[in-house]
């Protein structure tokens, strides 16, 4: 029963104001423990988290544990969403950020995609506000919204295997599909080369458009097979790059033209 004239906010404020002193600790739902360091009024209560982060909260949220540390790595134990609820979860910047943190640091994702186990995200991008600021400056960012361009770390980053402002670019899905494998890779052989026990020969093959596999021939050595594989992939990739000229960054275009020449 609601008592006439009773104000829950005033009641909570009186509890906090008269029953808790400087240094009182409060348990939060998601960020461990915080400590009361200053009380102004019900809407202006200052608390400090264990890492030294100080925030202003409302007394009601504090007493119910509904406060969070903006510097707490809450996304896969690494990512820091320091913007909190002020950005919609369907914002493209946020979905891209969650995706790269997941790829680099989710054990469950690595179970199904083991090739991502050695991938990293640069320290700056482990904080969402930094990523949100940087990613919109990368050329063709808007096309990831309108034309389903994808954020790639390998074309520019190569062996570094890291998501960072210097190593990523936005590319059409057709480019990512070009580099995908639709045949099982034998761990002791380069991509595109397999050993046929019945023939006692090495077989070279490559995919076209990520779906169809083109047989390139049978060879006595893996080195011979690899030469033909790279020659074929290089020709196909140059055709693809030329078809996309103007729709990708110039440095990405140049890298694609010489991708297999540089290996």
Report the pLDDT value the prediction gives residue 19, as an integer from 0 to 100. Answer: 63
Kindly give the parts of the chain with pLDDT less than 70.
Answer: 1-20, 85-86, 181-187, 208-212, 261-263
Inter-residue contact 161 to 153 (CB < 8 Å): yes
Report the pLDDT value the prediction gives residue 13, as an integer from 0 to 100. Answer: 59
Report the pLDDT value the prediction gives residue 168, as an integer from 0 to 100. Answer: 97
Report the pLDDT value the prediction gives residue 5, as an integer from 0 to 100. Answer: 45
The CA distance from 153 to 159, in Å, is 10
Report the pLDDT value the prediction gives residue 102, as an integer from 0 to 100. Answer: 97
Report the pLDDT value the prediction gives residue 83, as an integer from 0 to 100. Answer: 83
Inter-residue contact 80 to 71 (CB < 8 Å): yes
**Stated pTM of the model:** 0.77
Question: What pLDDT digit, counting tens, does each position of 61-112 carry?
Answer: 888 898 888 888 989 999 998 887 667 777 999 999 999 999 999 999 999 9
């Amino acid at each position: 029963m609601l008592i006439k004239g009773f104000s829950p906010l005033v009641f909570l404020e009186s509890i906090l104001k008269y029953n808790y002193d400087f240094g009182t600790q409060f348990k939060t739902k998601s960020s461990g423990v915080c400590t009361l360091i200053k009380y102004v009024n019900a809407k202006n209560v200052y608390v400090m988290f264990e890492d030294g982060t100080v925030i202003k909260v409302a007394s009601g949220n504090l007493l119910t544990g509904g406060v969070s540390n903006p510097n707490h790595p809450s996304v896969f134990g690494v990512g820091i969403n320091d913007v909190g609820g002020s950005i919609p979860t369907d914002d493209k910047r946020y979905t891209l950020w969650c995706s790269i943190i997941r790829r680099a640091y989710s054990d469950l994702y690595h179970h199904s995609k083991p090739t991502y186990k050695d991938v990293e995200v640069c320290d700056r991008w482990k904080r969402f506000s930094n990523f949100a600021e940087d990613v919109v400056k990368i050329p063709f960012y808007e096309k990831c919204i309108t034309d389903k361009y994808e954020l790639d770390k390998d074309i520019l980053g190569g062996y570094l295997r890291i998501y960072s402002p210097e190593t990523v670019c936005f590319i059409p899905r057709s480019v990512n599909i070009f580099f995908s494998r639709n045949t099982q890779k034998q761990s002791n052989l380069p991509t595109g080369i397999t050993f046929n026990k019945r023939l006692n020969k090495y077989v070279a093959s490559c995919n076209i458009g990520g779906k169809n596999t083109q047989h390139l021939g049978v060879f006595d050595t893996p080195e011979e097979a690899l030469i033909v594989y790279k020659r074929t992939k290089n020709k196909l990739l140059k055709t693809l790059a030329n078809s996309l000229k103007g729709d990708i960054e110039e440095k990405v275009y140049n890298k694609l033209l010489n991708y297999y020449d540089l290996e």
